[in-house]
Each structure stands twice: as C-alpha cells, then as structure tokens.
Amino acid sequence: MTTRAEEQRTLRADVLVIGFGKGGKTAARALGRLGRTVVLVEESERMYGGTCPNVGCVPSKGMVHHSRLRRPDDDPQAFFEQAVAKVQDVREFMRKGNYESLNALETVTIVTGRAEFTDPHTVSITRQDGERLTATAETILINAGSRPVVPNVPGLRASTHLVSSTDLLERTRLPKRLVVIGGGYLGLEFASIYRAFGSEVTVLARGGHFLPRVDADVAEAVRRVLTDEGVEIVLGARVREVRDDENGAAVVYDLDGAEHTVTADAVLPATGRTPDTAGLGLEAAGVHTAADGAIEVDEHLRTSQSHIFALGDVNGGPKFTYISLDDSRIVLDQLIGDGRRSTTDRVAVPNTVFLTPPLATVGMTEREAREAGHRVRIAREDVADILAMPRAYAVEEKRGLMKFVIDADTDLILGAALLSVDAQELVNTVALAMRHGITASDLRDAVYTHPSSTEAFNEVPTVVVHEDAPA
C-alpha cells in the first residue's frame, strides 16, 4: 500500500525527459505548450540548457572572439581574466533563460537530481540534498549527453595539471604552456584560442596525417594557419607518460623511435567524448546499449523499448547541438506528428571548426567522391585571390581557401571545404544548395549582397583546377 508521503514524492507525467540538452529541452517545451505534463530531470543546476550554452559551443566561441581582440600591448593574464568574466556572464544569462523558459510553463516540472531507472516506466531521482523522488511516465526521452574521454596514459589522470575543456573555459589563470593531446577538431580549436591569448601551445597528434578527414590540400592550409600563429604541431607522437615535477607536467612522448619531453602548466586530453550512460540503470529499463555505452536506436530514435527515445550524444550519433535539435524534431514527429521523419532524411549536414579563420565542411571530400564512383571536377581558390570576395580584404582576413567537389557529369555539388572568414555561415548556403539539387552553376550565378563573403560563390565554382577525364 502506498502512503500519502510516498504519493507526494512520486511525480507522474505524460513525458519524462532525462537531461536538459538541446533535444530534450526543445521537446519538453513543445509538448508542455500542447498541454502534456512533463517532468524534466537534470543532474546539475550548472547544466540548465545543456552542454552547448554552459560548457561547450557558446563559451568556447566566446573565447574565440575575445582571444582575437587582444592587442600586442595588452597584458595576457589581465586580458584573459576579463575575457573569462565576459564569457561567464553570457553563460549565466543563457542558463537562466533556458531554465525560465521551461519553468514558466505550468505543465513542466524541473527536478535537479540524478535519475536512475528502476523499471521501464519509472526512475528514481536523487537530489543534491540527498532527497529521493520517483518519477513515472508513459513516454521517456533520454538526453543525457556525453563526457570527455581521458586516455589511459600513465600519470595523466593523477596529474594536478590535467584539465578538461570545461576547466579551461572556467579558469581565470592563463596557462603559460598548454599541451593538447589529440589533433582533432576540439584540440585544434582550443590550441588556436589559447595561442591567441598568449599561451605557448603544443599539439601532440598520434596520427601521421594531419586532419585525415579532410583532403590533404585543405589540411595543409589549416596546418599553415596554425603554425604561422605559433602553434607547434607534432604528428605521429605517441604519449607514453605524464609526470608532475616542480616545473609543471612533463609530457613524455615517442616520435620516430626517440623519446621527447614537453613541459606544460596545463594538459588537455582532446581525444573524443563518450555517451554518458553510466549510472542510468538502463538494464532495469530494458534499454540496449552498444559496446561504447551508446544507446541503440532505430531511425526514429526509439530504443529497444518502444516508449523510450534517445536524443543527442547519448545515442552515438554525430555529437553536434544541431543534430540534437533535429533529433527532437524526429521524436516530436513520432509523438504528435505523422511519424514519417527519420534520421535517414538528413542530407548534407555541415560541420565547422572554429579556428580563425574557421574551417567549415559539408558532403564528400575529393577522395570520398572518387571512391563513390563519381567523375569529379575540382574548383579551388585561395581566399587572398578571390577578387569577388572584398569582405576578406575589408576585415583583413585573407587567409585560407575554398574548395568545391563537383560531379563533372551533373554539375551537382558533392562537397565543399571552406577555410575562410564567415565560413560557418557560408557552409549553410552550400548545404542548402546540395539538399535541393542546386548546381554549382546555379550557385555561381546567384545574386548576393555586396560586399559579402557569399559573393565568393560568384567566382570559386568556375576556378577549376582539375576535372577527371570522361570514362
């Protein structure tokens, strides 16, 4: 028999959302506005709104912006402290806004605590003060996100100089020497930020090829931008050990059969993220996971339990905020729509690395296009040579290049890599063109505002550097 006290500690809702990320909060808001009762559980009050506005995209891009405002005579430490304070003000504003946008809905209840399944429809919630609640719902959305991977390097986890990307975005002390373990997008972004603030930065990349997911000419252009700014990039480095001493952290690595050591005040492992599913009690819910902990889902994001959905990083898909947003559209279509939308609808999903200038890519690389059997035409031009792009000269950012991979038989755009000012915006236009079958010629002949970066498209698709011979 359930007592009255137990009844008061049990929350019953139409929908239970675990995690305050982009997908979960968007779905919660939409369903709450339709009158569905929603309980949203978030483990930490510091994460209202999810990773992006708190410890991810928004603060890191704020730091990109502020790092580029530093003048040569600015004191690096003082300037850095001011930048962190300004970025944190924005974070607090967004965190509060995210919370209030949901808390204002009478149909939505926000609970701060750790959720763990006890059966397929019920979770136990442990609040920060130790109080325990129970929440039950017919439909459950898991949006628990991901966490950084710390590689199993001897001495690394015990080092007092170990930092995460979150640590770097919150600490007010600028590291004099930063070592980044990993040559992926996140590592390079932080390398670029902290070098611009004045840190000495070394990137230790295990692979022998720089940015292997893009074509070699694009990767070389990125490497040149970073090294010209003073970032040291070591390819083929195998980190063996991290030792703390009176000078900081000694990072020991092998390169070409020889042992090397670089000393750092901060060591950032940037070797990926893993779905944050540990402790959710998914076994009790009957929810299946992959070997890496990712929740297994179908194309409609349903788990092995048809009433439970997984959105965002936790389902093992691309770890981008905009993918989590699109996940919410798919789930909402299942719950209140016609149920036809799925992950297979995603075409030409763009990606941006916020270096300065940013690198934005979409679709196939030149190598991938040929491997897929296309006869390709390659159009490429250095930004400094694009006369149709006066904005690059106006803002004094002429570094980089633009490259298009075009089907030589149909004139359709197969992919693009844009390393240029405003690339994070330009790539969305290219992606939209690809989704709707707009040809490279159509993109070239469109009318764009002046002076703008988009005007580059009036020129670049015609600067053909190679075309495969007809079969």
- Note if the bond before 357 is cis, omega within 30 degrees: yes
CB 169 within 8 A of CB 86: no
Residue 175 contacts residue 266 (beta carbons within 8 Å)? yes
Q: Is 78 helix (H, G, I), strand (E, B) or coil?
A: helix
**What is the per-residue pLDDT for 46?**
86
Catalytic residue among 209, 288, 450, 466: 450
Do 17 and 24 meet the contact criterion of CB atoms below 8 Å apart? yes
Q: Could you report the per-residue pLDDT of 357-372, keeping only the tens digit for each?
A: 999 999 999 999 999 9
Q: What is the CATH number of domain 4-147+274-345?
A: 3.50.50.60
Residues 6+ apart with CB under 8 A from 451: 390, 391, 394
How far is 23 from 50, CA to CA, in rounded Å? 9
CA angle 212, 65, 268 (to 5 degrees): 50
- Give burial (CB, 10 Å; 0-12/13-18/19+) of 46: middle
pLDDT at position 53? 85
Low-confidence ranges of the chain (pLDDT < 70): 1-8
Note if the bond before 151 is cis, omega within 30 degrees: no
Quick one: tokens of 353? 């690395």
Q: What is the pLDDT of residue 435?
A: 97
- pLDDT value for 54: 85
Task: Give pLDDT, residue 128.
Answer: 85
Sequence letter at residue 360: A
Put residue 272 in one of left, alpha, beta given phi > 0 → left and psi -120 to 50 → alpha. left
Considering the chain, tell me which residue range(s) the CATH 3.50.50.60 domain(s) occupy.
4-147+274-345, 165-271
CATH 3.30.390.30 positions along the chain are 351-467
Q: Give 413-434 pLDDT, tens digit per residue.
A: 999 999 999 999 999 999 999 9
What superfamily does domain 351-467 belong to in CATH? Answer: FAD/NAD-linked reductase, C-terminal dimerisation domain (3.30.390.30)
Give the integer Cα–Cα distance in Å for 30 and 33.
5
Q: How does 377-400 read in b/e, with b if 16+ C-beta sit within 10 Å? A: bbbbbebeebebbebbeeeebbbb
C-alpha to C-alpha distance for 291 and 435, rounded to whole angstroms: 33
Provide the phi-psi class of 429: left if phi over 0, else alpha when psi is between -120 and 50, else beta: alpha
Residue 450 designated active-site: yes
As a whole number of angstroms, the distance between CA 58 and CA 237 comes to 31
Contact status, residue 134 vs residue 123, Cβ threshold 8 Å? yes
d(CA 254, CA 261) in angstroms, rounded, equals 9
Distance (Å, whole) CA 240 – CA 172 = 29
Per the structure block, which two tokens stand in for 305? 């339990």
Contact 253, 240 (CB under 8 A): yes
Rg (CA), the chain: 24
CA 110, CA 104: separation in Å to the nearest integer? 10
Q: What are the beta bridge partners of residue 122? A: 119, 136
Q: Name residue 142's beta-bridge partners.
A: 18, 310
CATH number of 165-271: 3.50.50.60
